[in-house]
Amino acid sequence: MNKKINVPLPLNIGADELQLYQPYQQYELAPQKIRKLKNVFVGFSGFCLNSKGLIKECHHNYPQQHDYYLNEAGKYYLDAEEHPENLITLDNDQTYLAIHHPWFNYYHWICESIFRLWMVRHQLDKLVLVLPEYYKDADFIMGSIEPFKVKNLMFIANGKSLLVKNLCLPQIKPLCDSYNKKHLKQVSNFYRNYVLKEKRLTVQKIEKLYVSRELAGRRAVVNEAEILAVLKKYDFTIFHPEHYTFLKQVAIFSDVKYLIGTHGSGLTNLLFMRKGSALLELHKNQTNELNHPSPLFWYMAEALEINYYHQSCKTHGREDYFEGEYIIDAALFEKNLVLMLNGCNTH
């Protein structure tokens, strides 16, 4: 049975913006299963098929995207039929674990795949984790699984798919913008304890941090120089995630009390901040895909008991949720920044 989660409004919301948030103050959290399956086709990108078709636990529950899921799974299935050399048969008595998914980026790995791994953390000695070969070259992949001390790890050669006799399939969360509070806090503590107590990583202590997308290649802030001047005035550190390993980012964000950034994967490290800290998220006010801000980090902040502030920003160039650039009202930005630093609530 789905659980209803209620989310408070952003602390600095104005009356003219209520319609952007009030309709989305509640979401449903669906339970996630751990499936033990026989004779499963695991496509290279992570979608799974059996005699009944596409297995629902391997994909999100977005009906409008279901054709994409089927096409992605079918692509690898047909390839294996036409090119048998691209199919690896694992018919031994070992149980294999699949947690990856075609949406390969920082947020989806950390906030979805890692939580699938967390669900089976006590069974890992008896499982073989299978991952695409190119994952070996991604620091955030290898760094994030390091604390789990996975003993049995198999990399799938690029383009190859699997036919698995025994598969363990922890369910991906059906909706991206939903969070199991208990698991979120457990995973947050798990990583902080690993980097601070076991690894004893030494990093610069940063309490006020702004995540810059200068090096990201898209969704840049057109007037970032103007915004940086405001940030400097209040002693914020400008942070480029690309310059740090995953585990060092965990250590850094464990000390962050005030986080500012535009909507995107750079805010995923909110996961490693502590209860009572604060986030000011910068959203676009013009999109094609959505008529309201994405609730992804709003909901995540609520689950972690982190104070949430927001600001809507103009879009430059393409009016596109994923590609368009930002123009940030610097005066309003400073006002919201001060509200956050002072712990103010405007409603």
Kindly report the pTM of this predicted structure: 0.94
Mean pLDDT calculated for residue range 77-94: 97
Task: Name the most confidently modeled range: 188-197, 257-266, 311-320.
Answer: 188-197
Mean pLDDT calculated for residue range 220-249: 93
**pLDDT one-digit tens code per residue, 39-78:** 999 999 999 999 999 999 999 999 999 999 999 999 999 9
**Percentage of the chain exceeding pLDDT 90:** 84
Q: Which of 78-87, 116-125, 255-264, 284-293 has the lowest mean pLDDT?
A: 284-293
CA atoms within 13 A on the CB side of 319: 7
Per-chain mean pLDDT for the chain: 93
> pLDDT band for position 320 (50/70/90)?
low
**pLDDT one-digit tens code per residue, 153-182:** 999 999 999 999 999 999 999 999 999 999
Is residue 217's pLDDT more than 70?
no
What separation in angstroms does the CA of 35 have from each of 90, 153, 178?
Answer: 18, 19, 21
pLDDT the model gives residue 213: 73
Length of the chain (residues): 347
Mean pLDDT calculated for residue range 83-89: 97
**pLDDT one-digit tens code per residue, 246-266:** 999 999 999 999 999 998 888
Are 185 and 304 within 8 A, CB to CB? yes
All domains of the chain, ordered by start, with CATH? Answer: 18-26+179-341 (3.40.50), 31-170 (no CATH)
Q: Which of 74-78, 168-172, 188-192, 318-322 has the lowest mean pLDDT?
A: 318-322
pLDDT the model gives residue 281: 97
Q: CB-based contacts of 65: which residues, under 8 Å, 6+ apart?
A: none
Q: How far apart are CA 269 and CA 106, in angstroms?
A: 10
Are 47 and 79 within 8 A, CB to CB? no
pLDDT the model gives residue 289: 63
Is residue 215's pLDDT more than 60?
no
Q: CB-based contacts of 83: which residues, under 8 Å, 6+ apart?
A: none
pLDDT the model gives residue 292: 79
**Percentage of the chain exceeding pLDDT 70:** 94
Residue 168: phi and psi, rounded to 5, are -100, 120
pLDDT the model gives residue 264: 86
What's the token pair of residue 155?
A: 């990399």
